[in-house]
Chain A
Amino acid sequence: MSEQTTPQRRDIGGSLAGATMTTARAADGIDYSPVALMPDVKVLKVGGQSMLDRGRSAIFPLLDELVAVKDKYQLLLCCGGGTRARHIYSVASELEMPTGVLAALGGYVPRQNARMLQMLLAKHGGVFMLHDDFEKLPLYFKLGCIPIMTGMPPFGYWEKPGKDGRIPANRTDAGVFLSAEVLGVKRALFIKDEDGLFTDDPKKNPSAKHIPKIGARELLKNDLPDLILERVVIEYLTRARFCTELQIVNGLKRGQVTAALAGEDVGTIIYKD
């Protein structure tokens, strides 16, 4: 290239001027001291298939527990999808739709679930929020509200295609973990219909043993064919900066969620090891 005729780049300067971004090297030499944005928030996921699809018998007692402590904690509720998401994934994969389309379609279901919880919690300050409202969290908490949102991250059509199937890798567990991570929250809470992690699926194998605590790397090393949380979340956990613990509790057992919110190690803890 002849430099005389080439219009010059106008850099602004700064430590990254001219650098190729999105490579690990680009941040070398930057003194990075991360700030936890809202470390006191409790980020909770309400399971789709495990809780919401059970209807009133599972949801009402859970909401009672949450309402009882709502003035004690800042609760951010994130919803899972469940059987309607499975149904649309199934129809869309039969039509051989790309993963990104499945992720966008799957996104509608947890939003519906969040709206249902909002209606039930409205009289206690339940507020439905979209991803774009995330920066309003301080306002909601200041007013004593319970913000309720989808658990899905906003990747949608931009979800990466998978190697082995069409199911989007980042679903509602991922969104919950990533919400906790960006807020600087140490522990994310997943409310399911099991006491946590077992050596096998306890619904199919009654002799499966409960695992109270396990490291993320150890869990990945075991290479289990099935897991209670999305695989990608365990991978993220290994390189998390803030959210270094995931707690899975049984929302069908009265008091477990309350105990977990009080900081007790009920259910299963998966930690960054």
Chain B
Amino acid sequence: MSRGRLLQGDGRTHIESPLMRESLVDRKVIARTHSEREFEVLPDVMLVSIGGQSIFDRGKDAILPVADELAEARGKVKMIVGVGGGSRVRHTISVALDLGLPTGGVAQLVGAMEEANAVLLNALLAKKRSMVMQREHFWELPLYLENGMLPIVISTPPYHFWEPPAQEGSPLPTHGSDFGLFILAEVLGMKKLIFVKDVDGLYNKDPHKHADAKLIKRTSLGALFAEMPDDLPLDRQLLDAWRTARHVERIQIVNGLKKGELTRALAGDEVGTIIERGEANV
């Protein structure tokens, strides 16, 4: 079909295109924009998430070794580092809810606490070529990554005041840090995300509370949906979004408190827990 011609005659001026005059709500019209493949923008970049509560809140003894590992891998692996906010996010939300702020108002506030962690980590790594990157500035990524820079971003997605009402009628924003990083990786066509936490990976129950919790070394998205562990170290929204995603193939959870685990995960070793996407549309 030709494209670009201006058409008039029904009171509106249209640009000729396959979507011209169409309702973008019509299921048939939406389906026409589907295809099996999807363009990969930056497929060979990895996304590494440094947990707020699990790493940053533990202070120097937890942060410095992880920062060292990131500095060491920088230049060898193309990666973006995402940071969580941790306890200060939880405190923010707790005060905001007590004040009765609406869900979107709560969502607007939390990113600032992550920015503080991004600045902290950047101060530690600046001489190793790290930089705090505005999360949506990723058209500058080729410049940074080809020059061995280490971009650090915040994780919360920019839903801000426009955070949709929660599914269960809860006042809490549902689009959190894990989800935000996941979408960042997905939209850029990345294959792999590494979550650096303070546990060895995914357990069948919370290992901080249950001594008999069993580590799940390898699983798939389908298996998780078939049997969801009680205490997931990842946001449920991430898993939901992964079901319709096309690029992220693997999510690895490693223990940042164990020296070398992150480095091994960056090198492709099977440490911690590996979740594979497996079959599409589970």
* A-to-B contact residues, CB < 8 Å: 1, 6-24, 26-27, 30-37, 49-50, 53-55, 57-58, 82-84, 86-87, 89-91, 93, 95-101, 104, 131, 134, 153-167, 170-171, 174-175, 178-179, 181-182, 184, 193, 201, 225-232, 236, 239-242
Contacts and interface: CB of A to CB of B under 8 A. Distances in A.
B102 A160 contact: no
B26 A96 contact: no
Nearest to A238: B165
A interface secondary structure, majority: loop
Q: Is the interface of B mostly helix, strand, loop or mixed?
A: loop
Contacts of A22: 172-176, 178-179, 235-237
A84 B38 CA distance: 22
Contacts of A166: 33-34
A229 B162 contact: no
Contacts of B34: 164-166
Interface string B151-179: 00000011111111111111111111011
B187 A240 contact: no
Given A16-B93, A83-B14, A91-B17, A161 B30 contact: no
A208 to B, nearest CB: 13
B17 A86 contact: yes
* Of B25, B34, B257, most A-chain CB atoms within 10 Å: B25
B12 A53 contact: yes
Given A21-B93, A35-B100, A239-B166, A101 B41 contact: yes
B90 A9 contact: no
A86 B98 contact: no
B67 interface: no
Nearest to B174: A22
Contact of A134 (B17, B161, B172, B246): B161
A41 to B, nearest CB: 13
A226 B163 contact: no
A24 B264 CA distance: 35
A171 B25 CA distance: 10
A49 B14 CA distance: 8
Given A21-B176, A26-B172, A182-B105, A162 B244 contact: yes
Nearest to A243: B165
B173 to A, nearest CB: 7
B195 to A, nearest CB: 13
A154 B162 contact: yes
B30 A167 contact: yes
